[in-house]
Homo-oligomer: A and B are copies of this chain.
Amino acid sequence: MRRVRRAATIDDVAREAGVSRQTVSNVLNAPGVVREATKARVRLAIDRLGYAPHASARRLRTQRSSTIGVHLDPFAGGISGVVLDRFVHALTERASDRGLRVLVYSARGPQEEIARLRDLREGGEIDAAVITGTFSGDPRIGWLDAHGVPFVSFGRPWGNEPSDGPPHLWVDVDGASGTRAATEHALVTAGADVAFLGWPAGSATGDDRERGWREAMVAAGAAEGARLFAEDDVQAARLVALRAFAAGAPDAIVCASDTLAVGAHLAAVSAGLAELPIIGFDNTPVAEALGLASVEQRPEEVAAGVLELLMGDSGRVIAPRAVASDAPGAPSRSHVLVTPRLVVR
């Protein structure tokens, strides 16, 4: 047995057990992928060396409080706020089932959020964080990286990926796939003239949702339909749709959000087009109440993806896309892309 005077590291354990560092990590984080005999050898080495995974590894289960910190925005109202809330519900439920805790915190901006994260981290109250609403140059990501706080982002980094080092962990919903499915449905059931109502260009999420519509139109050989743009506001969307109807109504409208869809629906009703097929995005209670079809983000699958990335479990997320991983042979993915689901009404 190798004597280690300083605190044992994961490398010490690997040498002691005669396995790679990655295998030790797998035993700690994804034991399901390691053979029993190997697992037993690594665990024996861990016990012998008194290795405390706290000190080194970056994954949740190897640390102290088993608590995940989740930012909860001040309630802003609006139709689609429910999506993030559903995600928090689902994360809480799944985390509770696994004996993990979810601690929610509030902050009015990125700097305040960093201050909260610092408090929680220094107090040993959280082992990992889930952040939402990342943006280009997001200072939270730099802080989390610099302080070695494991985190998963709900939402792609859209250009914030580190140029060196391991990729960030993220889970996102494949918006283009959602609008593609919505457009294909409209082409089959309504007609070839499917318009798109989105947000003004420059929103990565919005551009992605527009792309899905465009790709479906091109694939079907349909003439390119009208592209309409409005801020994410019912009245703004209503006015844009009304103006469009004055020049002739399309066969259907695929929208980047339920808010836009409600605006288009109100315009359609007042223009005598109450039966015009309008498909929203987010499948909120509003869409359900108005009987509008909508693309469902499946926040439960997003929550499962977050826990998978944090805990190394797998097989729960439907149709994810596996990309680069943080070490050769590592069992877990570094991100999960959830395929949304069209709810037809």
Are A92 and B79 closer than 8 Å at their CB atoms? no
Are A79 and B285 closer than 8 Å at their CB atoms? yes
Residues of B within 8 A of A105 (CB): 92, 96, 101-102
Query: What residue of chain B has the Cβ atom nearest to residue A285's Cβ?
Result: B79
Residues of B within 8 A of A101 (CB): 103, 105, 120, 125
CB distance from A83 to the nearest CB of B (A): 10
Are B86 and A75 closer than 8 Å at their CB atoms? yes
When chains A and B are docked, how far (Å) is the Cα of A97 from the Cα of B12?
44
CB distance from A107 to the nearest CB of B (A): 7
Are B103 and A74 closer than 8 Å at their CB atoms? no
A262 contacts B by Cβ under 8 Å: yes
CB distance from A231 to the nearest CB of B (A): 15
Residues of B within 8 A of A88 (CB): 72, 104
A190 contacts B by Cβ under 8 Å: no
Mask of A160-197 contacts with B, CB within 8 angstroms, 1/0: 00000000000000000000000000000000000000
A56 contacts B by Cβ under 8 Å: no
A85 contacts B by Cβ under 8 Å: yes
- Do most interface residues of chain A lie in helix, strand or loop, or is the interface mixed? helix
A248 contacts B by Cβ under 8 Å: no
When chains A and B are docked, how far (Å) is the Cα of A95 from the Cα of B104?
10
When chains A and B are docked, how far (Å) is the Cα of A109 from the Cα of B176?
38
A107 touches which one: B96, B102, B107 (CB < 8 A)? Answer: B96
A342 contacts B by Cβ under 8 Å: no
When chains A and B are docked, how far (Å) is the Cα of A105 from the Cα of B73?
18
Mask of A80-119 contacts with B, CB within 8 angstroms, 1/0: 0110011011101101110001111111000000001000
Q: Which of A262-290 contact B (CB under 8 A)?
A: 262, 284-286, 288-290
A295 contacts B by Cβ under 8 Å: no
**Contacts known (A86-B75, A285-B78); A104 close to B106, Cβ less than 8 A:** no
Are A104 and B92 closer than 8 Å at their CB atoms? yes
When chains A and B are docked, how far (Å) is the Cα of A198 from the Cα of B104?
35
Residues of B within 8 A of A96 (CB): 105-107, 116
Q: Which of A124-168 contact B (CB under 8 A)?
A: 125
When chains A and B are docked, how far (Å) is the Cα of A17 from the Cα of B104?
36
Residues of B within 8 A of A302 (CB): none
A216 contacts B by Cβ under 8 Å: no
Residues of B within 8 A of A120 (CB): 101
Q: Which of A40-87 contact B (CB under 8 A)?
A: 67, 72-75, 77-79, 81-82, 85-86
Q: List 27 A-B contacts (CB under 8 A).
A: A67-B103, A72-B88, A72-B89, A72-B93, A73-B89, A75-B85, A75-B86, A75-B89, A75-B90, A77-B285, A81-B82, A88-B104, A92-B105, A92-B106, A96-B105, A96-B107, A101-B103, A101-B125, A102-B104, A103-B103, A103-B104, A234-B289, A259-B289, A284-B285, A286-B286, A286-B289, A290-B290
Chain A residues at the B interface, C-beta cutoff of 8 Å: 67, 72-75, 77-79, 81-82, 85-86, 88-90, 92-93, 95-97, 101-107, 116, 120, 125, 234, 259, 262, 284-286, 288-290, 299
Given contacts A101-B120, A103-B103, A290-B290, 7 further A-B contacts (CB under 8 A): A67-B103, A72-B92, A82-B82, A92-B104, A96-B105, A234-B289, A286-B286
